[in-house]
Amino acid sequence: MNSDKNDKNANRPKFYLAPMVRYSKLAFRQLVRLYDVDVCYTPMIYAKNFIESEKCRNSELSICEGDSPLIVQFATDDPFVLAEAAEMVYGCSTGVDVNCGCPKHDVRSKGFGSALLNKPELLADMIRQTRARISDTEFSVSLKIRVNADIERTVDLCRKAESAGVTHLTVHGRTPSQHAEPIDIQAIRIVKESVSVPIIANGGITTREEALFLAEQTGVDGIMAANGLLDNPALFAGYEYTPSHCVENFVSFR
Protein backbone atom coordinates (compact mmCIF):
# COMPACT_ATOMS: atom_id res chain seq x y z
CA MET A 1 0.00 0.00 0.00
CA ASN A 2 1.50 3.32 -1.02
CA SER A 3 1.52 6.54 0.98
CA ASP A 4 -1.27 8.09 -1.14
CA LYS A 5 -3.57 5.21 -0.27
CA ASN A 6 -2.59 5.45 3.38
CA ASP A 7 -3.47 9.16 3.35
CA LYS A 8 -6.81 8.47 1.64
CA ASN A 9 -7.77 5.88 4.24
CA ALA A 10 -6.56 7.80 7.29
CA ASN A 11 -9.28 8.58 9.83
CA ARG A 12 -12.07 7.32 7.60
CA PRO A 13 -14.92 5.08 8.79
CA LYS A 14 -14.64 1.36 8.22
CA PHE A 15 -16.19 0.16 4.97
CA TYR A 16 -18.42 -2.93 4.94
CA LEU A 17 -19.84 -5.30 2.35
CA ALA A 18 -23.49 -5.98 3.21
CA PRO A 19 -24.97 -9.47 3.53
CA MET A 20 -26.68 -10.11 0.19
CA VAL A 21 -28.33 -13.39 -0.72
CA ARG A 22 -26.54 -15.00 -3.69
CA TYR A 23 -24.06 -12.13 -3.99
CA SER A 24 -21.87 -11.83 -0.86
CA LYS A 25 -20.17 -15.11 -1.72
CA LEU A 26 -16.47 -15.85 -1.46
CA ALA A 27 -15.39 -14.63 -4.92
CA PHE A 28 -17.16 -11.31 -4.52
CA ARG A 29 -15.78 -10.86 -1.01
CA GLN A 30 -12.27 -11.46 -2.32
CA LEU A 31 -12.86 -8.86 -5.01
CA VAL A 32 -14.17 -6.01 -2.86
CA ARG A 33 -11.41 -6.53 -0.31
CA LEU A 34 -9.03 -5.32 -3.04
CA TYR A 35 -10.93 -2.03 -3.17
CA ASP A 36 -10.93 -0.69 0.39
CA VAL A 37 -13.64 -2.90 1.92
CA ASP A 38 -12.52 -3.63 5.48
CA VAL A 39 -15.13 -6.13 6.67
CA CYS A 40 -17.34 -8.54 4.72
CA TYR A 41 -20.60 -10.24 5.65
CA THR A 42 -21.75 -13.56 4.25
CA PRO A 43 -25.19 -13.86 2.70
CA MET A 44 -27.95 -14.55 5.23
CA ILE A 45 -27.97 -18.21 6.29
CA TYR A 46 -30.86 -19.96 8.05
CA ALA A 47 -29.25 -20.97 11.32
CA LYS A 48 -31.30 -24.12 11.96
CA ASN A 49 -30.56 -25.47 8.48
CA PHE A 50 -26.88 -24.68 8.96
CA ILE A 51 -26.76 -26.68 12.19
CA GLU A 52 -28.67 -29.67 10.88
CA SER A 53 -27.38 -30.01 7.32
CA GLU A 54 -23.80 -30.60 6.21
CA LYS A 55 -24.95 -29.91 2.66
CA CYS A 56 -26.19 -26.49 3.78
CA ARG A 57 -22.91 -25.75 5.55
CA ASN A 58 -20.86 -26.70 2.51
CA SER A 59 -22.98 -24.71 0.07
CA GLU A 60 -23.63 -21.62 2.18
CA LEU A 61 -20.24 -20.97 3.75
CA SER A 62 -17.05 -21.04 1.69
CA ILE A 63 -13.92 -19.32 2.98
CA CYS A 64 -10.26 -19.09 2.12
CA GLU A 65 -7.08 -17.65 3.56
CA GLY A 66 -7.36 -13.87 3.63
CA ASP A 67 -11.16 -13.84 3.79
CA SER A 68 -11.13 -11.91 7.05
CA PRO A 69 -12.58 -10.07 8.91
CA LEU A 70 -15.68 -12.10 8.06
CA ILE A 71 -19.06 -11.89 9.79
CA VAL A 72 -21.53 -14.72 9.26
CA GLN A 73 -25.12 -13.52 9.19
CA PHE A 74 -27.81 -15.86 10.47
CA ALA A 75 -31.59 -15.81 10.36
CA THR A 76 -33.24 -17.24 13.46
CA ASP A 77 -35.55 -16.32 16.30
CA ASP A 78 -34.12 -18.87 18.74
CA PRO A 79 -31.37 -17.79 21.16
CA PHE A 80 -30.02 -21.32 21.57
CA VAL A 81 -29.99 -22.01 17.84
CA LEU A 82 -28.02 -18.80 17.27
CA ALA A 83 -25.57 -19.72 20.03
CA GLU A 84 -25.00 -23.18 18.54
CA ALA A 85 -24.55 -21.82 15.02
CA ALA A 86 -22.12 -19.21 16.33
CA GLU A 87 -20.09 -21.90 18.04
CA MET A 88 -19.88 -23.81 14.76
CA VAL A 89 -18.40 -20.83 12.88
CA TYR A 90 -16.24 -19.53 15.72
CA GLY A 91 -13.05 -21.01 14.28
CA CYS A 92 -13.54 -19.73 10.73
CA SER A 93 -15.00 -16.25 11.17
CA THR A 94 -14.64 -13.13 13.27
CA GLY A 95 -18.27 -12.81 14.34
CA VAL A 96 -21.95 -13.54 13.81
CA ASP A 97 -24.81 -11.19 13.00
CA VAL A 98 -28.57 -11.57 13.34
CA ASN A 99 -30.69 -10.45 10.42
CA CYS A 100 -33.31 -8.13 11.94
CA GLY A 101 -33.92 -6.03 8.86
CA CYS A 102 -34.97 -8.15 5.89
CA PRO A 103 -38.49 -7.04 4.87
CA LYS A 104 -39.21 -9.94 2.50
CA HIS A 105 -42.42 -11.82 3.22
CA ASP A 106 -40.88 -15.30 3.17
CA VAL A 107 -38.35 -14.25 5.81
CA ARG A 108 -40.80 -12.31 7.98
CA SER A 109 -43.35 -15.15 7.86
CA LYS A 110 -40.86 -17.38 9.66
CA GLY A 111 -40.51 -14.77 12.40
CA PHE A 112 -37.09 -13.70 11.15
CA GLY A 113 -35.73 -10.51 9.58
CA SER A 114 -37.64 -7.32 10.30
CA ALA A 115 -40.30 -9.30 12.22
CA LEU A 116 -37.76 -9.32 15.07
CA LEU A 117 -37.79 -5.53 15.36
CA ASN A 118 -40.88 -5.87 17.54
CA LYS A 119 -39.09 -8.26 19.92
CA PRO A 120 -36.20 -6.36 21.55
CA GLU A 121 -36.19 -8.59 24.63
CA LEU A 122 -35.81 -11.69 22.45
CA LEU A 123 -32.96 -10.08 20.53
CA ALA A 124 -31.25 -9.20 23.80
CA ASP A 125 -31.57 -12.82 24.94
CA MET A 126 -30.10 -14.02 21.65
CA ILE A 127 -27.07 -11.85 22.27
CA ARG A 128 -26.73 -13.00 25.87
CA GLN A 129 -27.00 -16.69 25.03
CA THR A 130 -24.44 -16.41 22.25
CA ARG A 131 -22.03 -14.47 24.40
CA ALA A 132 -22.47 -17.04 27.18
CA ARG A 133 -21.46 -19.76 24.72
CA ILE A 134 -18.52 -17.78 23.28
CA SER A 135 -16.73 -15.66 25.85
CA ASP A 136 -14.01 -14.47 23.44
CA THR A 137 -14.66 -10.72 23.27
CA GLU A 138 -12.75 -10.52 19.98
CA PHE A 139 -15.57 -12.54 18.40
CA SER A 140 -18.36 -10.11 17.55
CA VAL A 141 -22.07 -10.65 18.13
CA SER A 142 -24.08 -8.03 16.27
CA LEU A 143 -27.48 -7.08 14.88
CA LYS A 144 -28.45 -5.59 11.53
CA ILE A 145 -31.69 -3.64 11.86
CA ARG A 146 -33.98 -1.22 10.08
CA VAL A 147 -35.37 1.85 11.79
CA ASN A 148 -38.91 2.11 13.09
CA ALA A 149 -41.16 5.03 12.17
CA ASP A 150 -41.17 5.71 15.92
CA ILE A 151 -37.45 6.23 16.45
CA GLU A 152 -37.80 5.80 20.22
CA ARG A 153 -38.67 2.14 19.63
CA THR A 154 -35.46 1.75 17.66
CA VAL A 155 -33.46 3.46 20.41
CA ASP A 156 -35.05 1.16 23.00
CA LEU A 157 -34.09 -1.91 20.96
CA CYS A 158 -30.52 -0.69 20.55
CA ARG A 159 -30.14 0.09 24.25
CA LYS A 160 -31.43 -3.33 25.22
CA ALA A 161 -28.98 -4.91 22.78
CA GLU A 162 -26.15 -2.83 24.20
CA SER A 163 -27.00 -3.91 27.75
CA ALA A 164 -27.01 -7.54 26.60
CA GLY A 165 -23.47 -7.22 25.22
CA VAL A 166 -23.89 -6.53 21.51
CA THR A 167 -20.57 -5.74 19.82
CA HIS A 168 -21.91 -3.36 17.19
CA LEU A 169 -25.14 -2.47 15.41
CA THR A 170 -25.78 -1.90 11.72
CA VAL A 171 -28.63 0.53 11.10
CA HIS A 172 -30.34 0.60 7.71
CA GLY A 173 -31.91 4.03 7.54
CA ARG A 174 -35.25 2.91 6.13
CA THR A 175 -38.30 1.28 7.70
CA PRO A 176 -39.25 -2.26 6.64
CA SER A 177 -41.98 -0.85 4.37
CA GLN A 178 -39.60 1.46 2.51
CA HIS A 179 -37.60 0.48 -0.55
CA ALA A 180 -35.85 3.15 -2.61
CA GLU A 181 -36.79 6.18 -0.52
CA PRO A 182 -33.95 8.38 0.80
CA ILE A 183 -32.56 7.05 4.06
CA ASP A 184 -33.39 8.79 7.33
CA ILE A 185 -30.08 10.39 8.26
CA GLN A 186 -31.49 11.92 11.42
CA ALA A 187 -32.70 8.53 12.67
CA ILE A 188 -29.23 7.05 12.24
CA ARG A 189 -27.71 10.04 14.04
CA ILE A 190 -30.15 9.63 16.95
CA VAL A 191 -29.24 5.96 17.33
CA LYS A 192 -25.54 6.80 17.26
CA GLU A 193 -26.01 9.41 19.97
CA SER A 194 -28.10 7.06 22.11
CA VAL A 195 -25.67 4.16 22.55
CA SER A 196 -21.94 3.78 23.02
CA VAL A 197 -21.31 0.69 20.87
CA PRO A 198 -20.05 1.22 17.30
CA ILE A 199 -22.75 1.97 14.74
CA ILE A 200 -22.57 1.11 11.04
CA ALA A 201 -24.84 3.06 8.69
CA ASN A 202 -26.44 1.34 5.72
CA GLY A 203 -28.67 2.34 2.82
CA GLY A 204 -28.33 3.95 -0.59
CA ILE A 205 -24.55 4.30 -0.79
CA THR A 206 -23.27 4.45 -4.37
CA THR A 207 -19.98 6.41 -4.09
CA ARG A 208 -17.11 6.89 -1.67
CA GLU A 209 -18.09 10.56 -1.35
CA GLU A 210 -21.61 9.59 -0.25
CA ALA A 211 -20.12 7.20 2.30
CA LEU A 212 -17.84 9.83 3.80
CA PHE A 213 -20.64 12.41 3.82
CA LEU A 214 -23.01 10.05 5.62
CA ALA A 215 -20.35 9.30 8.21
CA GLU A 216 -19.78 13.01 8.71
CA GLN A 217 -23.50 13.73 9.06
CA THR A 218 -24.18 10.92 11.54
CA GLY A 219 -20.92 10.35 13.40
CA VAL A 220 -21.10 6.61 12.75
CA ASP A 221 -18.10 4.31 12.91
CA GLY A 222 -18.67 2.46 9.66
CA ILE A 223 -20.53 2.56 6.34
CA MET A 224 -22.06 -0.48 4.66
CA ALA A 225 -22.98 -0.79 1.00
CA ALA A 226 -25.05 -3.39 -0.80
CA ASN A 227 -26.42 -2.69 -4.30
CA GLY A 228 -23.88 0.08 -4.78
CA LEU A 229 -21.09 -2.49 -4.56
CA LEU A 230 -22.88 -4.77 -7.01
CA ASP A 231 -22.98 -1.91 -9.52
CA ASN A 232 -19.39 -0.87 -8.78
CA PRO A 233 -17.28 -3.17 -6.58
CA ALA A 234 -14.56 -0.48 -6.48
CA LEU A 235 -16.77 2.35 -5.18
CA PHE A 236 -15.18 2.53 -1.72
CA ALA A 237 -11.78 2.95 -3.39
CA GLY A 238 -13.08 6.09 -5.08
CA TYR A 239 -13.76 4.80 -8.59
CA GLU A 240 -16.75 6.45 -10.26
CA TYR A 241 -17.25 3.44 -12.52
CA THR A 242 -16.10 -0.16 -12.35
CA PRO A 243 -12.51 -0.19 -13.66
CA SER A 244 -11.48 -2.86 -16.16
CA HIS A 245 -8.94 -4.35 -13.75
CA CYS A 246 -11.81 -4.93 -11.30
CA VAL A 247 -13.55 -7.15 -13.84
CA GLU A 248 -10.29 -8.97 -14.55
CA ASN A 249 -9.74 -9.57 -10.86
CA PHE A 250 -13.24 -10.96 -10.43
CA VAL A 251 -12.76 -13.42 -13.29
CA SER A 252 -9.55 -14.64 -11.65
CA PHE A 253 -11.40 -15.41 -8.41
CA ARG A 254 -14.11 -17.54 -10.01
Positions annotated as catalytic residues are 102
Scanning 90-150, the segments in alpha helix (DSSP H) are 105-108, 120-133
Cβ contact 222:188 at 8 Å: no
Strands (E) in the chain, as ranges, are: 14-17, 39-41, 45-46, 70-75, 95-100, 140-146, 169-172, 199-202, 222-225
Distance CA 210, CA 217 (A): 10
> By CB neighbour count within 10 A (0-12 exposed, 13-18 middle, 19+ buried), where does 60 fall?
middle
Instruction: Characterize the bridge pairing of strands 140-146 and 169-172.
Output: parallel
**Secondary structure (3-state) at 144:** strand
> Residue 199: beta bridge partners?
169
